[in-house]
Each structure stands twice: as C-alpha cells, then as structure tokens.
Homo-oligomer: A and B are copies of this chain.
Amino acid sequence: MVSCGAALPLLRGDRDVLHVFDRNTSALFPRLPEGSVVLAPGEDSKNWAGAEAILSAAFDRGMARDSLFIAVGGGMVCDLTAFAASVFMRGARLRLLPTTLLAMVDASFGGKTAINFGGCKNLVGTFYPAESITLSTAFLRSLPRRELLCGLAEIVKYAMLGDAVLYEDLRKRGEGFFPPEGGLGDEAFLLDVLWRTLEVKARFVREDPEEQGPRAYLNLGHTFGHGLEAATGFGRFTHGEAVAWGMMRALRAGRRLGITGERYAQEATAFLKALGFPEKVRGVLAADILRAMEKDKKKKQGEIRFVLQRGPCDNLTQSLDPAFVAEIVEDGLECNV
C-alpha cells in the first residue's frame, strides 16, 4: 500500500515497533519513539554492522515475526532496514517512510533490500516488499537542490522507460521543474509526478518481481552509472548524476549501433543536459570505470547485459562487445586521461 501526502507523518511508539533513522532524519522529529535506532548517515552504515545494530535492537526488544520495522530515511536507511526486517526471524513486517526524492522512487516500492559488501554497492540483499510505504513531500522541503535533481534523474528514467506522456510533461516543464532559487516549486505537480512514476515502476515490478526479465529494463543507465560511481568512490557524483550520465551513454551506444532513433537520442540527451546533468565527466579513468562495471550484478553467463532503447518506452537488453563499451565510456569523459 502506497500513500502520499504533504504533512510530516506521526510516529507512534510501541513495544512491537522499531523505528530506524539516521542522524539527519531523527533531527526532523521533536521526540523519537522509545528504543529507536539512529544510524550515522551515509553509505558507511550500509553494511552488516549497520544491519546488526538494527537486528540487536529488535532482539533486545523481544520482537517477533509479527513485529514491525519502520525505516525513516533515505535510500541507505530504507535499504538497510528492509534488509534487516527481511532476515529477522526469516521476515518481519516492514514499513518505509522514504525521506529523499531518490529513496521515494528508487528505494521504496519494489522490494529490493541491500547492504554493501566487499567494497561493492548492494552486493548482498533480498527481495522483500514493504507492506506499506508513506510518501510525504514534507520531508523534501529541506533537501538541497542537488539532492532533488538526483531523484529527478530516476524519475526521468522511469518516464523514458514506461510513460511517454510523463516524459513529454517533464520535457515541457524542463529545467524549471525545481526552481533554481531552491524549494520544491509546484508541489501538486511533484506529487502527481511521484505517483505516475511509481505507477510505471509498479508495472515493471509486478510483471517480474525478481528481475528475471523486463524488470531489468529499470537498470537503464545503471551499469555505466554504477561504474562511474564506483570508480569515483561513490562521493563525487550523486546517484542521479551518475545514472543520467549512464543513460546518455546508453543513448549513445544505441545510436552508434543504429538501434536508438536519432531524434529521440538527441532530444533525451539535450533534456538531461538542460536539467544540469553532465554528458562528459573529468578526472576519472575509463579503465577504472570499466573494471568496476565488470563486477556488475546483472551479469548472465559471464556477460553484462546493457539496457538500450529504440525510442521512448521501447526497451531491449543486449550484450555489448567490451571494446565497444570501452569506446562508449571514453566518449563520456571530458578528455581521455
């Protein structure tokens, strides 16, 4: 069940409920429910030690299978809490209150839980859908513009993959989606866009909950993007910036292979650039990006499958020749360092 709103949700304490925050999201509430877990913000908490902190708190509280884990935070808090809930007594109840735009579209609906392992993002995890998800724009009002744009990159991805009308609506709104002076701009439009984005995601996920088939399309831009994030230590680019770069790489690859229509490739690339996403990045080695891509989870029989598009909502996956992939990556660098 997904519910949307504009007010900060009320949190109620209960012996059978465990709330998980990070230090940023805990600060949004005047009082935390008793026994809450408050994690250090950032990817460094997204590992087994973080999961252990949640599991120990649940165990100490005497929680059982029918107890409820509630995540209040961004992608890290949502993915980590969901992972802990999924393995506590082989699966307890789970509710997500994502507090960033990225987490609302990326880490809420769809059931992917994760921790990082061996220096690899999200290498360990489960499929475990939350029983309820609450989206509130109240959480978004304090986010910096760069964070909002990070989520917007994923929203554009869903539109490109599954909703041509949403894609056109977003293109028309253009770079003014979030006002340059800060804030959320048109909040009603944002809520509407959020809802339509989750509808696209729901369609892909329902058809293929465990990513054996069409759900893999949702990885558009992610193989290239994860490579860039990993090669730059996950700190320099936001996930959205990396994915936007990756989508432009996928459009370029599709264009070079004669798969992607020229007009669509140009138009989508221009739109992503207008939103402020870099088409070419600097200060990173192609070899580092390619090495990181090698470890991709989406490998099948040793080959990485890339998501490409013929046009809006016209998607395919394809294995690409490593030399060709290297060319495409190099083409996305400011200068061939």
A residues near B, CB below 8 A? 16, 48, 52, 55-56, 59, 62, 64-66, 86-91, 112-114, 117-118, 120, 123-127, 210-211, 294-295, 297-302
**Chain B residues, CB < 8 A from A89:** 123-125, 297
Minimum-distance CB pairs A-B, first 8: A64-B299, A89-B297, A59-B118, A90-B125, A87-B124, A66-B300, A48-B48, A90-B127
Q: Are B120 and A64 in contact (CB under 8 A)?
A: no
Question: Shortest distance in angstroms between A150's beta carbon and chain B's nearest beta carbon?
Answer: 23
Q: Tell which of B62, B114, B118 touches A295, judged by Cβ atoms closer than 8 Å.
A: B62
| B65 pairs with A299, CB closer than 8 A | yes
Instruction: Check A59–B127 contact: CB distance below 8 A.
Output: no
A120 to B62, CA, bound (A): 12
Verify B126–A64 contact, CB threshold 8 A: no
A126-B300 contact given A56-B118, A59-B117, A118-B56, CB 8 Å threshold: no
What's the nearest-Cβ distance from chain B to residue A128, in Å?
A: 9
**Inter-chain contact B65/A297, CB cutoff 8 Å:** yes
Are the CB atoms of B64 and A302 closer together than 8 Å?
A: yes
Please state if B120 and A59 are interface contacts (CB–CB under 8 Å): yes
With most chain B CB atoms within 10 A of its CB, the pick from A112, A117, A211 is A117
**Max chain B Cβ within 10 angstroms of own Cβ: one of A65, A90, A295:** A90
Please state if B91 and A127 are interface contacts (CB–CB under 8 Å): yes
Residue of B whose beta carbon sits closest to that of A112: B90
Q: How far is the CA of A211 from the CA of B65 in the complex (A)?
A: 11
Instruction: Flag if B118 contacts A55 (CB, 8 Å).
Output: yes
| Contact indicator B126/A90 (Cβ below 8 Å) | yes
Give Cα A52 to B298, complex, Å: 21
Contact B118 A301 (CB under 8 A): no
Establish whether residues A87 and B125, one from each chain, have CB atoms under 8 Å apart when the complex forms.
Answer: yes
Closest to A86 in B: B126
Q: List 19 A-B contacts (CB under 8 A).
A: A48-B48, A48-B52, A55-B123, A55-B124, A59-B118, A64-B297, A64-B302, A66-B300, A86-B126, A87-B87, A89-B123, A89-B124, A89-B125, A89-B297, A90-B113, A90-B126, A90-B210, A90-B297, A91-B126
Chain B residues with CB under 8 Å of A211's CB are 90
Q: How far is the CB of A27 from chain B (nearest CB, A)?
A: 29
- Indicate if the CB atoms of B126 and A59 lie closer than 8 Å: no
Tell me the bound Cα distance from A49 to B87 in angstroms. 16
B124 lies within 8 A of A88 (CB): yes
Q: Which residues of B contact A300 (CB under 8 A)?
A: 64-66
Q: Give the shortest distance, in Å, between A54 (CB) and chain B (any CB).
A: 11
CB pair B88–A123 under 8 Å, yes or no, is yes
